[in-house]
Amino acid sequence: MRTSSNSPNTESAGAAIERGDLRTFARLITRIESGDESVLPTLQELYRRGGKTPVVGVTGPPGSGKSTLTDQIVRKWRIAANRVGVLAIDPSSPFSGGAILGDRIRMSRHYSDPGVFIRSMSSRGSLGGLASAASDTLTVFDAMGFDQILIETVGIGQSETDIMNFAQTVIVIQPPGAGDVVQSIKAGLIEIGDIFVVNKSDMPGAEKTAAALQEAIAFRGSSSPWQIPVVKTQASTGEGVDELIQQIGKHHAHMTLHPEHRIQKQRRQALARLLDCINELMRTRLGNPDDPNGPFHSLIDAIVERRTDPHQSALTILEQIAELAPVSPGVC
């Protein structure tokens, strides 16, 4: 686990990450995305020694100005923070698919800032599901000892909102426009936000959108003493970003002052990650249910044709899963 030498030849990947080695960092994440299971011991080691830097999540529908706002947050952070890590997930972006271009293309302002580390990721590249790959990648980010970590996802699908599970503070961005609040309700974004932002607040309808958000938040209800704020920003000019940064700090302070809420959130994260891992393990051993060559496919056939029943099949799977050899690769 710990090497006494710093020579790259004998040093473990984990140790290299912990002293902030960028090449190991990039390589490790590529291996996670490609489902290379040899990465597992390093991931486990890093996870057990990790948990240092709380993650801030930023999500919102396409067109909400999410990337520009992320850019502004990072700029403000950099005044005090030494190193900031950004994980940008956008399944629809043509850039996210290829790591070479995708790594640095999105946040123009920080393109040449050596204190900002940006990694893009696309769902197409990750075998075991986006949430699994993102969570493992965040473990690597955490081990790198960044002062701030931000994860950005486009808020349009279940897997994108699932990823927000791994953030301690979730920021939901909303462009002005009544239809977009409906989209956010549909995408389950209202339930997950700790801070809401109406971006492009100079546009007509911003006040209405803020009111609709307030209403949706009130409807959601909460047992937490945390007062969910709705912040108005103009990412293009930077207006309102200071208040947003303040609210992020406030929420962090709230989680520190209320360990019962922090632990509750962490338990939910751990449970989600654990269930993802179990599903991932099952997938590697049973194959995809839609893959005609996997054992899972024929099991479902047998249930449909009533040669067996769901109860018996579930029992058989659990009894045999430990002995089954993997049929497809995966980080588990």
Contact residues: a second copy, CB under 8 A: 40, 43-44, 47-51, 135, 182, 185-186, 263, 266-267, 270-271, 273-274, 276-278, 280-282, 289, 299-301, 303-304, 306-315, 317-319, 321-322, 331-332
Taking the complex as a whole, the smallest distance from the CB of residue 149 to a second copy amounts, in Å, to 17
CB of 38 to a second copy, least distance (A): 13
Q: CA 85, CA 83: separation in Å to the nearest integer?
A: 7
Q: Which of 202, 207, 203, 193 is nearest to 164 (CA)?
A: 193
For a second copy, which is the closer residue by CB, 132 or 234? 132
126 three-state secondary structure: coil
Pair of tokens at residue 256 = 């520190």
> Minimum distance from CB of 237 to a second copy (Å)?
32
Residue 189 or 241 with smaller CB distance to a second copy? 189
Q: Least distance to a second copy from the beta carbon of 301, Å?
A: 8
- Whole-angstrom distance between the N-terminal and C-terminal Cα of the chain? 19
Name, in order, each residue with C-beta under 8 angstroms of 47's C-beta and a sequence gap of 6 or more. Answer: 139
Q: Are 86 and 118 in contact (CB under 8 A)?
A: yes
Q: Which is nearer to a second copy, 47 or 95 (CB)?
A: 47
Kindly state the smallest distance separating residue 111's Cβ from a second copy, in Å: 34
Dihedral pair phi/psi, residue 150, rounded to 5°: -130, 135
Q: For 127, which DSSP code?
A: T
Pick 3 or 44: Cβ nearer a second copy: 44
- Among residues 19 and 186, whose Cβ is nearest to a second copy? 186
Residue with smaller CB distance to a second copy, 211 or 278:
278
**Shortest distance in whole angstroms from residue 78 CB to a second copy:** 29
Question: Does residue 218 contact residue 210 with C-beta atoms inside 8 Å?
Answer: no
Question: Closer CB to a second copy, residue 94 or residue 310?
Answer: 310
Max CA pair span of the chain: 66
- To the nearest whole angstrom, how small is the minimum distance from the Cβ of residue 206 to a second copy? 20
**C-alpha–C-alpha distance, residues 205 and 185, integer Å:** 18
- Angular region, 287: left φ>0, alpha ψ -120 to 50, beta rest: left
